[in-house]
Amino acid sequence: MGVFMTSLTYALARIQKKMRPNAIKNSIIDKTSAVESGSQIVNSSFDRHSYCGYDCVILNCSIGSFCSISDQVYIGGSAHPMHFVSTSPVFLSHKDSVKAKFSRHEFSHMPHTTIGNDVWIGHGAKVRAGVTIGHGAVVGMGAIVTRDVRPYAIVVGNPAREIGRRFDDETAEALTKSKWWDFDDNKLRDAACDFMDPAMFLRKRSI
């Protein structure tokens, strides 16, 4: 009985988690991609076969194909005017959480963030607005990314630093040139049998 109740409770919790709505505004999500419950996506795009997990916030961002974005990831956002007398929005023209307005100075600074193809971003990572993360890169769990990440780099920590690469420079460059993420579905099915062996994948395709 105890095992049954535990399984039932788990199943009900999963259903409840999935039933929450997500919030998607001014965004283009490819039909093959997915946004899980509780996530907020604004002014952004997802290319083919990419997903973000639960409770993510993604603002003003382009996300490539085959990207894996875990739960509670925050990407992008706006800035406050540090060169003004105050950073508070009560002096700015746009709407914000607080209602008071002492002036309505124009200020809008929301840099575009770019996530390449085949990028994996771990649970709870945060990516500063305006950063570019290169193809094939890996961002570790809880990392705080404040600067660009080169293709196939592995970054961790706060602030995020590169600790290695998925492949050597030659292989990383060849995979980037292959643009396999642009293959149509039939070509991708044919190539997928070699995905466990990058050298074989590249050799067969004379890249």
Segment 75-102, tens digit of pLDDT = 998 888 888 888 888 888 878 778 888 8
Q: What is the mean pLDDT of residues 106-119?
A: 91
Ranges of each domain in the chain: 16-76+111-166, 167-207
pTM: 0.86
Say what the pLDDT of residue 183 is: 96
Indicate the fold that domain 16-76+111-166 takes in CATH.
UDP N-Acetylglucosamine Acyltransferase; domain 1 (2.160.10)
Compute CA 186 distance to the chain's CA centroid, rounded to the nearest angstrom.
Answer: 26
Say what the pLDDT of residue 89 is: 84
Distance CA 139, CA 124 (A): 10
> Which residues are catalytically annotated?
80
Segment 164-206, tens digit of pLDDT = 999 999 999 999 999 999 999 999 999 999 999 999 999 988 7
- Bridge partner residues of 145 (DSSP): 127
Strands 126-127, 120-121: pairing is unpaired
